Amino acid sequence: MSPNRKLSLFEAKLCSDQLKNKMMKVAMSMTQKNKAASLDLIQNTYMKALQNQDKFNGPEIDPWVITILKNLQKDEWKRKKEIHVGGNSDLPEIAEQDESAALMLERDKDYCMDTLTDDEQTIISLNQVSSYAEISKDLGIEQGTLRQRLRRAKEKFMECMGFNNE
Amino acid sequence: MNDHDKDLISAYLDNETTADESKHVESLMESDAEALNYANQLKSANLEINQYFEGDEFEELETSVNKFINDSIGLADQTRSLFNFDISKIFNPYSIGGYVATAIIFFSINLNFFSNENYNNEYFIPSDSINFLQEFSQESFSYSIPKFRGDSTLNKIYIEAIEQMLEEKKLSLNLLYGDESFVITIENQIYSQDLTMCFTGNIIKQNSFIDYLFCKNDLNSSILLND
């Protein structure tokens, strides 16, 4: 590490607390709160953003970085799916969950969060750290559309948790 | 209760409704048992969702991410920087405030970037009011500065305009300076400690696009352009 190294504006923006918090929430929701997987995902996102900074033409860095993070996670899902389809015989078969375990999971919030699509998870996780105005800007959607999508995502979560049957 | 009412109830519980919308939601919940029940279900869902995003895992993750940020930015030494500017240029010999801001930023960067032993710092750049910009409106406003012969440098004009944006709590400004016009935006708060705050943003003039770093304390303001 060079002692004379100076911070570039791009790096300052990339490492802001606000963006870091957004990345952590989105990564944790997309990896089912797997800390190691989230850290890998965030690290890969930072590295990819740094490597591709000449492709960033501003003005908003947050949406650009969140998109990188989501695409990396989608690639990871795709890679895992390919390995699974390829049928690696060295891997143990995943045991089928019995009915009682499935019932127990039914009301589990981790499970319910996982039933949401990645777009729904992103909206809900950004809702934890950002205002509607900021989320709309990050996702490039109108605030009215955001309200609707957020409400629907929460309804889906509620339904999974069994709140609307109480 | 229709879907729009549900959207409003959801936004109301997130404190994201206007005064009129809030009144509508409150009267709806008083008059419609179904609406009240829906609001209570959403409250429960919000509580569960909040709990999902809390916990030791997040604190542990943040520590690891902070460590990585320090490491990676150091390792990224070989990476060519898009902006490639030296934050020290914000030092203006005629500006005590600029000096103070720069000195504090350098101090924090030194702590976080130049010390391998200091990975456990909670923040990469010290921040005591990182949500300051959350109160700001996206709505743009116009501000005019008359232009006289032998007048101020553009930097001073930009500083005056950005100070006006902070005063008005708005993230976007249409600046008229003589017959020139600019759009100025504030994008991020990248530093905040004690009385010093730094922001990044953009200045757009015709087709040119300039990034800036603006720092302000109680004594003075400085701007650094990357044009």
Residue B67 lies in a domain: no
- Between the alpha carbon of residue A161 and those of residues A60, B27, B119, the distances in Å are 36, 28, 40
Do B151 and B43 share a structural domain? no
Do B216 and B134 share a structural domain? yes
Residues 6+ apart with CB under 8 A from A41: A27, A30, A31, A69, A72, A73, A76
Do B116 and B225 share a structural domain? yes
Provide the pLDDT for residue B131: 62
Which of B49, B58, B140, B226 has the most A C-beta neighbours within 10 Å, making it the best mutation to test the interface with A? B49
Q: Residue A43 and residue B3: Cβ atoms within 8 Å?
A: no
The pLDDT > 90 percentage for chain B reads 23
Provide the pLDDT for residue A69: 92
Shortest CB distance from B123 goes to which of A1, A17, A53? A17
Residue B60 lies in a domain: no
Residue B64 lies in a domain: no
Do B134 and B223 share a structural domain? yes
Residue B65 lies in a domain: no
Burial per residue of B125-158, b for 16 or more beta-carbon CB atoms within 10 angstroms, e otherwise: bbbeebeebeebeeeeeebebeeeeeeeebeebb
Do B219 and B138 share a structural domain? yes
Provide the pLDDT for residue B80: 31
B-chain residues within 8 Å CB-CB of A20?
62, 65, 69, 124
Tell me the two tokens of residue B174: 């249409």
Residue B68 lies in a domain: no
How far, rounded to the nearest angstrom, does the alpha carbon of residue A18 sit from its chain's CA centroid?
15
Domain count, chain B: 2
Residue B75 lies in a domain: no
Confidence at B93, pLDDT banded by 50, 70, 90: very low
In chain B the first and final C-alpha atoms are separated, in Å, by 53
Residues 6+ apart with CB under 8 A from B78: none
A-chain residues within 8 Å CB-CB of B119?
none
Residues 6+ apart with CB under 8 A from A94: none
Do B98 and B42 share a structural domain? no
B-chain residues within 8 Å CB-CB of A131?
16, 134
Provide the pLDDT for residue B71: 66
Residue B44 lies in a domain: yes
Q: What pairs with residue B213 in β-bridges?
A: B200, B224
A-chain residues within 8 Å CB-CB of B88?
6
Confidence at B201, pLDDT banded by 50, 70, 90: confident
Residue B73 lies in a domain: no
- Please tell me which residue of chain A has the smallest CA distance to B65: A39
> In the predicted model, is pLDDT for residue B128 greater than 80?
no
Q: Residue A7 and residue B109: Cβ atoms within 8 Å?
A: yes
Phi, psi at A35, each rounded to 5°: -65, -45
Do B113 and B219 share a structural domain? yes
Do B95 and B48 share a structural domain? no
Q: Residue A132 and residue B16: Cβ atoms within 8 Å?
A: yes
Per-residue DSSP letters for A83-145? HHHHT-TTSPPPPPPPHHHHHHHHT-HHHHHHHS-HHHHHHHHHTTTS-HHHHHHHHT--HHH
**Whole-angstrom distance, CA of residue A94 vs CA of residue B121:** 41
Which of B16, B75, B88, B184 has the most A C-beta neighbours within 10 Å, making it the best mutation to test the interface with A? B16
Residues 6+ apart with CB under 8 A from B154: B177
Provide the pLDDT for residue B194: 64
Shortest CB distance from B45 goes to which of A24, A53, A158? A158
Do B124 and B30 share a structural domain? no
- What is the signed CA dihedral for A105, A109, A111, A112, rounded to 10 degrees? 110
Do B48 and B107 share a structural domain? no
The per-residue pLDDT for range A123-161, each reduced to its tens digit, is 999 998 888 998 898 888 999 999 999 999 999 998 888
The per-residue pLDDT for range A34-93, each reduced to its tens digit, is 889 999 999 899 888 888 888 887 777 888 999 899 889 888 887 776 665 655 444 444
- Among A9-13, B31-35, B117-121, B161-165, name the one with the lowest average pLDDT: B117-121
Rounded to the nearest integer, the mean pLDDT of chain A is 78
Do B127 and B205 share a structural domain? yes
Provide the pLDDT for residue B27: 93
- Among A20-29, A120-129, B213-222, name the one with the lowest average pLDDT: B213-222
A-chain residues within 8 Å CB-CB of B47?
none
Provide the pLDDT for residue B34: 92
Do B105 and B165 share a structural domain? yes
Rounded to the nearest integer, the mean pLDDT of chain B is 73
The per-residue pLDDT for range A8-22, each reduced to its tens digit, is 677 777 877 788 888
The per-residue pLDDT for range A81-124, each reduced to its tens digit, is 666 565 544 444 444 444 455 445 445 778 888 888 888 998 99
Domain extent at residue B13: 3-52
Per-residue DSSP letters for A41-93? HHHHHHHHHHHTGGG---S-HHHHHHHHHHHHHHHHHHHHHHHHHHT-TTSPP
Phi, psi at A52, each rounded to 5°: -110, 20
Closest approach of chain B CAs to the CA of A89, in angstroms?
33
> In the predicted model, is pLDDT for residue B213 greater than 60?
yes
Provide the pLDDT for residue B162: 94
Give the A:B interface size as CB pairs under 8 Å.
Answer: 180
> In the predicted model, is pLDDT for residue B8 greater than 80?
yes
Which of A4, A7, A108, A113 has the most B C-beta neighbours within 10 Å, making it the best mutation to test the interface with B? A7
